[in-house]
Amino acid sequence: MQQKRNIQIIEWEDLDKRKFYSFGVFMTMSIRATVYPATLIRTRLQVQRGRSLYNGTLDALVKIVRNEGVRGLYRGFMVNTFTLISGQAYITTYELVRKYVSLYSEDNTLKSLVAGGSASLVAQSITVPIDVVSQQLMMQGQGGHLTRFRIHAHTQGKDRRAFGPTRSIMGQIFAADGVRGFYRGYVASLLTYIPNSAVWWPFYHFYAEQLSKLAPPDCPHLLLQAVAGPLAATTASTVTNPMDVVRARVQVEGRSSVVDTFKQLVSEEGFWGLTKGLSARILSSAPTAIVMVVGYETLKKLSLRPELVDSRHW
């Protein structure tokens, strides 16, 4: 028998799919534009040796804006927008796997864990090539000396509408490593994001349930979910950050071994090196989680089949 939940979850079969995908693209794009600067800062912090360039998240923000302008915070953003495809693949896989697992188990933690991990596997297979290129673009400017590939001055000044710098980076990656170069760090990405996603969803539902027990009966469920999201994001980010640091270095520096990269990082900077970029990651993931949760739950509410609208407490 299915356990009665305080917060009712809108499942895949409850949705009008046309509305769901139409609203979903807009939501995903808005979230990515909001958090991209923090993602760029996190990448530069993770790749730098020690504190050779920045002394922390705030210092990086100030220096980038001062030396590169606000546009410097959005290096590689246009390329990164192609991850909209992976975003839609992620939510589709998550919802479909939840539905499949529910045929065998009504345990919400199990459904969330399996669906979250599966969704991340599919999404990362699409995202990694885009990340490889966008991270190289992120490292241009102050961080340019930390990457193998550089955009030449004559390329930066022309053909911007045709993604001249992007084509330059892609050409260099292909020339150096072939097609495999676009999947550099794929294993590290899977080792980072599958656990991150698998941890995030169960903790999200767990925190939401615990908050619902503490909150007044008339407290809006959306408010509880908006608080549960960043709590889950902070938990997942802390658990998976060491692998995220390794992933960033593998992709930006062109390394081939996850294990060797991990060993070198620990030998050079100690285990504290595994926390590099954690504050920037939390600053990115926590607000992202609020926007994502509010947006996603609102998206599902707006996408409910008409006959179910009055049956869901909001």
Please report the pLDDT score of residue 3 as a whole number. Answer: 41
**How high is the mean pLDDT of the chain?**
83
| CB-based contact 37:45 (threshold 8 Å) | no
Using the Cα atoms of residue 196, residue 148, residue 167 and residue 180 in order, give the sign of their dihedral. negative
Confidence check: pLDDT of 270 > 60:
yes
Please report the pLDDT score of residue 2 as a whole number. Answer: 39
Classify residue 2: in a domain, yes or no: no
Q: Give the count of domains, the chain.
A: 1
Classify residue 130: in a domain, yes or no: yes
Confidence check: pLDDT of 252 > 70:
yes
In terms of residue numbers, what domain contains 163?
A: 12-311
Most confident of 3-12, 26-35, 72-81: 72-81
Amino acid at 299: L
Please report the pLDDT score of residue 73 as a whole number. Answer: 92
Classify residue 7: in a domain, yes or no: no
CATH number at residue 224: 1.50.40.10
- Provide, rounded to the nearest whole percent, the portion of the chain with pLDDT above 70: 89
Please report the pLDDT score of residue 161 as a whole number. Answer: 45
Mean pLDDT within 156-167:
58
Classify residue 288: in a domain, yes or no: yes
Three-class HEC string of the chain: CCCCCCCCCCCHHHECHHHHHHHHHHHHHHHHHHHHHHHHHHHHHHHCCCCCCCCCHHHHHHHHHHHHCHHHHHCCHHHHHHHHHHHHHHHHHHHHHHHHHCCCCCCHHHHHHHHHHHHHHHHHHHHHHHHHHHHHHHCCHHHHHHCCCCCCHHHHCCCHHHCHHHHHHHHHHHHHHHHHHHHCCHHHHHHHHHHHHHHHHHHHHHHHHHHHHHCCCCCCHHHHHHHHHHHHHHHHHHHHHHHHHHHHHHHHHCCCCHHHHHHHHHHHHCHHHHHCCHHHHHHHHHHHHHHHHHHHHHHHHHCECHHHHHHCCC
Mean pLDDT within 131-144:
80
Classify residue 5: in a domain, yes or no: no
Confidence check: pLDDT of 145 > 70:
no
- CA 84 – CA 123 distance, rounded (Å): 10
| Residue range 179-188, pLDDT digits in tens | 888 888 888 8
- Tokens coding 110: 């199990």
Classify residue 3: in a domain, yes or no: no
- CA 142 – CA 150 distance, rounded (Å): 12
Please report the pLDDT score of residue 292 as a whole number. Answer: 79
